[in-house]
């Protein structure tokens, strides 16, 4: 009798020898995925290392080619970079002190400082850990910072009176300085300055700030691997400045150290606002509030109006076409700011030359011929 089909098949299998089985389908997939994952990790690691090397090389080159434009003054053991320009006509003339916003540096005043230097002694500087200034490992405090700025001015031979100018967060800082040294401050200018309650009272401003702070938290790491430099992700903060100051600001906006300090400043925001709330009003001290006319978030107009009411001798100016950044980075708007500082100088004259407390600020700054 012949073999059954089953028996025939078995016989054929036996003739070929034992069947060799490969990895199961799932095993082959995992094996391929493991190799792919390892390749991706290798590529990512190599890219990151290349970015770190690129960032380090560019930082060294920037350190070589970008010479600090000012001088260094040592205060509390820290070397602070400051740029002084212009002249005083007499010792009683105010020294204009410029305070940048969060993460800012002296280069931000590239348009304003030279213009103010035409009619006054003016100083800009880099806060601790920003720009060319050395970093401070101690906790942030607005009052501690104000004392350090005061020490810097004294060490540089810049005696009061001081006309303080603060942009954005810088407006909060100069209010603390004024509270500590009220007799040395003759006037203030707030350039689209922050209000200590803006995050509490305006949901739009709060959401905008929280989004910015979240982005800023990632910036030091991204800067360290060269991504910020390659992408020019923060260049808009310097766009419009004169070529030299743009180059300087752009370089530091790619710096791990600079962005790390900016992130620390952002993390200290609530504490800073608490210190500002503890300060008093300005009484009848001359004050000019300059607000951006473009891009303001809901609630900003009311908050800016409250800043103008800090003094009974205030002037509130809205610059149409300017936003929060371009108020200082674009020439036409920056020159408008400089003109407002000049307008304030006669009102901020030393005791004995000051206008009467109730006198209109605009009229006092532009006396009849």
pLDDT in tens, 296-353: 999 999 999 999 999 999 999 999 999 999 999 999 999 999 999 999 998 886 643 4
Residue 305 lies in a domain: yes
Count the domains in the chain. Answer: 1
Q: Which residues make beta-bridge pairs with 289?
A: 190, 316
Residue 18 lies in a domain: no
Of the listed ranges 42-46, 132-136, 325-329, the one predicted with least confidence = 42-46
d(CA 282, CA 90): 26
Residue 54 lies in a domain: no
d(CA 329, CA 352): 36
150, two tokens: 């005061």
Q: Residue 107 maps to which CATH number?
A: 3.40.50.1820
Q: What does the pLDDT read at residue 369? A: 31
pTM of the model as a whole? 0.82
- Beta carbons within 8 Å of 211's beta carbon, 6+ residues apart: none
One DSSP character per residue, 55-97 reads: HHHHHHHHHHH---SSEEEEETTEEEEEEEES--SSTTSPEEE
d(CA 249, CA 107): 6
Calculate the average pLDDT of the chain: 85
- Beta carbons within 8 Å of 338's beta carbon, 6+ residues apart: 111, 112, 115, 116
Residue 357 lies in a domain: no
Q: What does the pLDDT read at residue 28? A: 63
- Of the pLDDT bands very low, low, confident and very high (cuts 50, 70, 90), residue 125 is very high
The model's pLDDT over 14-24, given as tens digits with 9 standing for 90+, comes to 445 555 555 55
Q: What does the pLDDT read at residue 18? A: 53
Q: What are phi and psi of 81, to 5 degrees?
A: -90, 130
Q: What does the pLDDT read at residue 347? A: 86
b/e map 164-173, b = 16+ CB within 10 Å: bbbbbbbbbb
Residue 35 lies in a domain: no
The model's pLDDT over 244-264, given as tens digits with 9 standing for 90+, comes to 999 999 999 988 999 999 999
Long-range contacts of 335-339 (CB under 8 A, 24+ apart): 335/111, 335/112, 335/115, 336/290, 337/112, 337/189, 337/191, 337/290, 338/111, 338/112, 338/115, 338/116
E-strand stretches of 149-273: 162-167, 185-191
Parent domain of 186: 65-347
d(CA 160, CA 94): 7
Residue 365 lies in a domain: no
DSSP 8-state class, residue 297? P
Torsion of CA 354, 358, 360, 366, to 10 degrees: -20
Q: What does the pLDDT read at residue 238? A: 92
Q: What does the pLDDT read at residue 24? A: 52
Residue 78 lies in a domain: yes
- Beta carbons within 8 Å of 151's beta carbon, 6+ residues apart: 75, 76
- Of the pLDDT bands very low, low, confident and very high (cuts 50, 70, 90), residue 46 is low
Task: Count other C-beta atoms under 10 Å from residue 51's C-beta.
Answer: 18
Q: What does the pLDDT read at residue 233? A: 78
Q: What does the pLDDT read at residue 140? A: 87
Residue 32 lies in a domain: no
């Amino acid at each position: 009798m012949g073999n059954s089909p089953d028996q025939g098949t078995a016989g054929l299998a036996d003739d070929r020898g034992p069947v060799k089985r490969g990895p199961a389908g799932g095993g082959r997939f995992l094996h391929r995925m493991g190799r792919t994952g390892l390749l991706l990790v290798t590529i990512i690691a190599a890219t990151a290392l290349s970015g770190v090397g690129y960032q380090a090389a560019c930082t060294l080159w920037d350190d070589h080619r970008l010479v600090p434009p000012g001088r260094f003054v040592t205060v509390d053991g820290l070397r602070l970079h400051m740029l002084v320009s212009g002249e005083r006509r007499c010792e009683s003339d105010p020294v204009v002190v410029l305070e940048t916003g969060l993460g800012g540096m002296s280069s931000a005043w590239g348009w304003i400082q030279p213009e103010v230097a035409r009619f006054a002694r003016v100083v800009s500087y880099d806060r601790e850990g920003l720009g060319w200034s050395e970093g401070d490992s101690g906790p942030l405090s607005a009052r501690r910072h104000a004392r350090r700025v005061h020490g810097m001015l004294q060490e540089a031979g810049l005696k009061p009176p001081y006309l303080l100018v603060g942009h954005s967060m810088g407006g909060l800082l100069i209010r603390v300085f004024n509270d500590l040294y009220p007799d040395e401050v003759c006037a203030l200018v707030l350039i689209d300055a922050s209000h200590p309650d803006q995050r509490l009272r305006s949901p739009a401003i709060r959401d905008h700030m929280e989004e910015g702070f979240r982005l800023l938290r990632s910036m030091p790491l991204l800067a360290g691997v060269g991504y910020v430099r390659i992408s020019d992700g923060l260049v808009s903060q310097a766009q419009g400045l004169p070529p030299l100051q743009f180059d300087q600001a752009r370089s530091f906006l790619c710096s791990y150290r600079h962005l790390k300090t900016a992130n620390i400043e952002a993390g200290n925001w609530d504490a800073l606002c608490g210190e500002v709330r503890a300060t008093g009003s300005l009484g009848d001290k001359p004050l000019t509030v300059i607000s951006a006319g473009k891009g303001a978030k809901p609630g900003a107009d009311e908050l800016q109006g409250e800043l103008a009411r800090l003094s009974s001798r205030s002037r509130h100016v809205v610059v149409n076409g300017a936003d929060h950044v371009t108020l200082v980075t674009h020439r036409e708007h920056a020159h408008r700011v400089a003109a407002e500082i000049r307008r304030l100088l006669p009102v901020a004259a030393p005791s004995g030359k000051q206008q009467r407390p109730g006198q209109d600020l605009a009229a006092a700054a532009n006396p009849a011929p």
